[in-house]
Amino acid sequence: MIGLPHYLVLSSLLFGMGLFGVLTRRNAVAILMGIELMLNAANLNFVAFTKFVDPTFVRGHVAALVIITLAACEAAVGLALIINAYRHLETVNVDQVNLLKG
> What's the CATH number where 84 sits?
1.10.287.3510
Angstrom distance (rounded) from CA 86 to CA 97: 9
Phi, psi of 91 (to 5 degrees): -155, 150
Instruction: Say if 95 falls within a structural domain.
Output: no
Instruction: Say if 46 falls within a structural domain.
Output: yes
Instruction: Say if 47 falls within a structural domain.
Output: yes
Instruction: Say if 96 falls within a structural domain.
Output: no
Instruction: Name the pLDDT band for 62 (thresholds 50, 70, 90).
Output: very high
CB 90 within 8 A of CB 25: no
Mean model confidence pLDDT for the chain: 89
The pLDDT of residue 100 is 58
Domain ranges, residue 44: 4-89
Instruction: Say if 101 falls within a structural domain.
Output: no
Amino acid residing at 75: A
Q: Structure pTM?
A: 0.84
The proportion of the chain whose per-residue pLDDT surpasses 70, expressed as a percent, equals 95
E strands in 32-83:
none
- What is the count of structural domains for the chain? 1
